[in-house]
Amino acid sequence: MPSRCPVCFEKLDVVKLHCPTCDTTIEGSFETCKFCQLTNEQRDFMETFIRCRGNIKEVERELGISYPTVRGRLDSLITALGYRVDTEEQEVDASRRREILESLNKGEISAEDALKALKQV
């Protein structure tokens, strides 16, 4: 079932339901579930994410995409479902990664220590 208007791309409302067995038609204003509003790409990603039990490494491997791409698609999915993505947490993580790389660049930590630290972020 399409969730967006093919002309203006706005959300479609369901106003008619029909039973093909008894030919009953019900008209009104019906709400669709949040998942019905997702794009095919978002639904496919969600299915893969669930099948991989939320393991981002497995999602990366199965879809052949990078960690940032998995996170981006997950954030997009979360937003599409009507939830807020905590970008502040992401900014803190990015800042911490920069600090680790700067320490590595200055020779304050070894490459092995930097890898361990980056895996923990």
Q: pLDDT tens digits for 6-18?
A: 899 888 889 999 9
User: Six-digit token pair at 89?
Assistant: 């947490």
The tens digit of pLDDT for each residue in 80-106 reads 999 988 776 677 788 888 999 999 999
Fold exhibited by the domain 14-80: Arc Repressor Mutant, subunit A (1.10.10)
- Residue 57's φ and ψ, nearest 5 degrees, are -60, -45
- Concatenated DSSP letters of 21-55: TT--EEEEEEPPPGGGGS-HHHHHHHHHHHHTTT-
Domain limits, the chain: 14-80, 87-120
User: Which pLDDT score is estimated for 92?
Assistant: 74
User: Which pLDDT score is estimated for 7?
Assistant: 93
User: Which pLDDT score is estimated for 51?
Assistant: 97
Share the mean pLDDT of the chain.
Answer: 90
Cα–Cα distance, 53 to 101 (Å, whole number): 31
Q: Can you say how many angstroms the Cα of residue 19 is from the centroid of all Cα atoms in its chain? A: 34
Least confident residue range of 22-26, 27-31, 84-88? 84-88
Nearest to 121, CA basis, from 89, 83, 82 = 89
Q: What is the mean pLDDT of residues 40-56?
A: 95
Q: With contact defined as beta carbons under 8 Å apart, do 53 and 41 qualify?
A: no
User: Which pLDDT score is estimated for 103?
Assistant: 93
Cα–Cα distance, 79 to 37 (Å, whole number): 12
User: Which pLDDT score is estimated for 88?
Assistant: 67
Band of the pLDDT at 110, cuts 50, 70, 90?
very high
Residue 70 CA: distances (Å) to CA of 38, 52, 73, 92, 97: 17, 12, 5, 18, 18
